[in-house]
Structure formats: C-alpha cells, structure tokens
Amino acid sequence: MKNIYNGSQILVKAAMKASVGFFAGYPITPATKILENFALESYKNTNLIFLQSEDEIAAIHHVIGASIGGKKAMTATSGPGFSLMQEGLDLAFACSIPLVVVNVMRQGPSTGMPTKSSQGDLLQTQFGPHGDYKSIVFYPNSIEEIYRITIEAFNASEEASSPVIILLDAAISNLYETIDLKNRRVKNVKHNLIFGSLNRHLSGLVTDKNGIPETDNFKIYKAWIEQKFKKITEVSKRYDYFEYIRSKNAVNLIISFGPVPRFISISKKYSIFRPITLFPTSGKLIDISKKYKKIIVIEMNEGQYSFYLKSFIKRDIETISITQEDLDPDKLSEKINEKI
C-alpha cells in the first residue's frame, strides 16, 4: 500500500531503516522540519537518541561524539549552519569518523532568502573545510529517491569511514509524494567504531599508525592523505548514481540536478543527464559528454557545478543560471532554446 510522505518525513523513516541511533541539530529554516520529525520519532522509538544542540558547531561535535560512541549518527542543517559545521567535518574526515550531514540548501549568501530553494552550497561540500578534504555528496530529487539515497549515504559513510553529505533544498524537502515502504530489503553496513574497548587515540593532528602525533614528517602526511583520498574515491565508485535520459540524434546535453530536471520537458533536441552522486562525479559522464557537441548546465546558482565540470570533463560548458522563480517548464524551455 502506498502512503504519502514529505521529504523530511521520509528522510527520518529512511534513517531509522538504516538504524541511526543519534540525531543532534539546531533549528534553521528550511531544515527545521527534519529536526522536529526526529524529535517526534525519538518519543516513539527508544533506539533513537535526540538532542537539540546549542548551535550547529555543537551539533556536529555531538554527532562526532555519538559516532565514536558506537551509534550511527547524523545532523541536518541549512547553509549558514553548514558553514559553522565545517570544522567538525574536517575533524571527522581526519579522524575517519563516519557520519551523515543533511544540508537543505536555501538562497544565500548570509541570511539571504531563508525560505527559498537554491543550490549555492555545492562547492562548499568539497572545499568548505580547510586543508585537503573530500566527501561523497548525494542529491536526491524525489521521495522514493530520498528514501533510497539516505540509506545508501549511511552505508557509504561507514564504508569510507568519513562524513557523507546529503544535499536537499526547500523544494525537495517540502515535496509530498507517495511511496510504498512495505517489504523493502536494504543493505545495512554495520557501525564498528565503539569507544570503551581498546587503546585508540583519535587526533586532528597528523599521527602515525599508533596514534602518536607526527607533526614534522611530511612522508607520513603524504601517505596518509593520499590513502584517504583513494579510499573515498574507491567507495564512491560503488555509489555512483545518475539518471540519463537519452534522445537519439540529439547534439546537446543538459546536465541538471535536484528539483530543476523535474521542470525540463523531454525534447528531441537534447538529452538530460542528472547526477545523483554529485561528488565525486561519475566517470561515465566523461564518455557520455563526448557524444555531444554542446553541454549546458542548468543550476540554481551562479555556475558552481559548471565551474567544477569544466576541469572534470576538460571542455567548455554553457551555464544557465536560474533561481527558484525559474522553476517553470515554459520559462526553462525558453532559456534552453536561447542557448541551443
């Protein structure tokens, strides 16, 4: 039987299916609904511990603490809160602590337009923290997909022993759709890190294998950071999701993600590629893009993903930069027709 859920509700359902044991967060529009739904869930389900933190910096560190304490843990926030969480993400990356952060993007910069959808935090997920950093980033765009991807995000985070980001936006997290949750069998990777058993030392400092700080030895640092990047890239290959709607004989390829492709009408003139795993970007995109003369990225920011893709597929890319106002089939096809 199908039931109706919105984005925040289904995210909580999926997280519970992935056996999440801890949620900490701080109210922020438009991610507050996720916080509220987790609070509600923690009353019904004693396996879930819920904490409303004093700020987002505390929230991410509460999550880190819970993760080293032996539970799968997550937090949800929006742009300004995500900025505050960067130091915690960096720490979790350095110490190999698995966790999941949901960022419901809103129109920035700064306080911006808090209730409006945007895709302005794409590059912050990769380049936000200081130092070299890499994380797997998913961007689902339907209720069915949020359910599937949330569970996969936890699995990817456990396998990579590193933070994983789920990007949403106001439009997707407030979306209502039906879904059938009966008889679903999902993969559930176990959480292995439990404090109170061994003599581990986790540190934000560069350490050797025994956890002894090695702040003078670049050889150790180099080997460590290369191995970390390699591991995340390897794990991401198992979580390489995208949707590719191919039109025969089309010479244009439109790359778009999140709510935007839901408003792009199917046409003979172009094919549509929608990455669900935004970072690390699917290697298949390089082969697919070779079949097209023109590549157009449509995104709700000033061209962040196309900036990144230019170096990834080593080609020139046209950008259609839109706002939430342009989420309309007629407006979008007008803008596309201008470019092709």
What residues make contact with another protein under the rule CB under 8 A? 21-22, 24, 49, 51, 53-55, 57-59, 61-71, 73, 87-88, 90-91, 95, 194-205, 210-213
- Sequence-ordered list of residues with C-beta below 8 angstroms from that of 157, at least 6 positions apart, any chain: 98, 99, 100, 136, 163, 164
User: Can you tell me whether residue 271 is helix, strand or coil?
Assistant: strand
Q: Which is nearer to another protein, 90 or 121 (CB)?
A: 90
- Please state, in angstroms and as integers, the Cα–Cα distance from residue 307 to each residue in 56, 143, 215, 303, following that order: 29, 29, 34, 6
- Write b or e for each residue in 295-323: b if 16 or more Cβ atoms lie within 10 A of its Cβ, otherwise e: bbbbbbbebbbbbbbbebbeeebebbebe
Q: Which is nearer to another protein, 41 or 169 (CB)?
A: 41
Q: Which is nearer to another protein, 43 or 316 (CB)?
A: 43
C-alpha–C-alpha distance, residues 11 and 14, integer Å: 5
**For the purposes of burial, counting CB atoms within 10 Å of the CB of 259, is it exposed (0-12), middle (13-18) or buried (19 or more)?**
buried
Structure-token pair, residue 337: 């027709």
The DSSP output letter for 240 is -
C-alpha–C-alpha distance, residues 106 and 213, integer Å: 40
Q: Which is nearer to another protein, 58 or 327 (CB)?
A: 58
Q: Which is nearer to another protein, 24 or 255 (CB)?
A: 24
Sign of torsion over alpha carbons 209, 211, 217, 220? positive
Q: Which is nearer to another protein, 162 or 304 (CB)?
A: 162
The DSSP output letter for 128 is S
CB of 190 to another protein, least distance (A): 15
CB of 195 to another protein, least distance (A): 4
Q: Which is nearer to another protein, 109 or 196 (CB)?
A: 196
**For the purposes of burial, counting CB atoms within 10 Å of the CB of 220, is it exposed (0-12), middle (13-18) or buried (19 or more)?**
middle
Q: Which is nearer to another protein, 102 or 175 (CB)?
A: 102
CB of 133 to another protein, least distance (A): 14
The DSSP output letter for 207 is B
Q: Are 279 and 135 in contact (CB under 8 A)?
A: yes
CB of 334 to another protein, least distance (A): 48
CB of 137 to another protein, least distance (A): 22
CB of 78 to another protein, least distance (A): 20
Q: Which is nearer to another protein, 100 or 170 (CB)?
A: 100
C-alpha–C-alpha distance, residues 247 and 245, integer Å: 7
C-alpha–C-alpha distance, residues 33 and 8, integer Å: 6
